[in-house]
């Protein structure tokens, strides 16, 4: 019986060795697969890092391009706001004095012009008002440019005088320059 037990022990030992060898092969196979996946992951990470670095450099270039445009747009927006406010004020003051003169003559057609009537699309109104204002200022100061602008009527002169006395001191330096440039 001893012999049979020895054979059984040998069989069990061989079975255990086969199991160990199988596990070792499986371990080596899995280890090789893991290393392969790790290499692929490393390659993908390296490629993604390169793509992100290129994208970042493109964003920096784009920001450098956009920054001056943004600054110019802000300046233009401020200028447009200033011009719209000046136009509204000029039209309001002009309407008050014209209507006041017409009221004395008994033919006033309504109240003061409201800011709603001074729409952005009515640029010609703004330009005409500024031309009248420039003509009156040039006329009052004896400026030789006065010949370029015909001074039309007393209500406009009164409106311009009111503008220079009442509104001009309230304008900022930029708003004054805007009016002088145009």
Domains of the chain, by residue range, sit at 75-181
Helix axes 2-105, 154-162, angle to 10 degrees: 130
The pTM of the full predicted model, rounded to 2 decimals, is 0.34
Query: 95-117, pLDDT tens digit by residue?
Result: 555 555 555 554 444 444 444 44
Q: Which residue has the higher pLDDT, 138 or 111?
A: 138
CA-to-CA separations, 139 to 16, 21, 39, 40, 151, in angstroms, rounded: 117, 111, 85, 83, 8
- The distance in angstroms from the start CA to the end CA of the chain is 123
């Amino acid at each position: 019986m001893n012999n049979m037990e020895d054979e059984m022990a040998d069989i069990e030992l061989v079975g255990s060795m086969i199991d160990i060898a199988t596990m070792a092969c499986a371990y080596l196979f899995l280890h090789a697969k893991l290393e392969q996946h790790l290499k692929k992951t490393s390659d993908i990470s390296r490629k993604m890092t390169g793509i992100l670095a290129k994208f970042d450099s493109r964003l920096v270039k784009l920001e450098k391009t956009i920054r001056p445009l943004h600054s110019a747009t802000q300046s233009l927006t401020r200028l447009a706001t200033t011009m719209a406010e000046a136009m509204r004020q000029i039209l309001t003051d002009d309407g008050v004095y014209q209507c006041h003169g017409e009221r004395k003559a008994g033919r006033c057609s309504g109240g003061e012009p409201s800011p709603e009537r001074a729409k952005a699309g009515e640029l010609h109104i703004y330009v005409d008002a500024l031309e009248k204002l420039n003509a009156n200022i040039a006329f009052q100061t004896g400026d030789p440019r006065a010949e370029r602008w015909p001074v039309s009527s007393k209500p406009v002169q009164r409106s311009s005088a009111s503008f220079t006395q009442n509104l001009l001191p309230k304008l900022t330096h930029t708003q004054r320059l805007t009016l002088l440039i145009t």
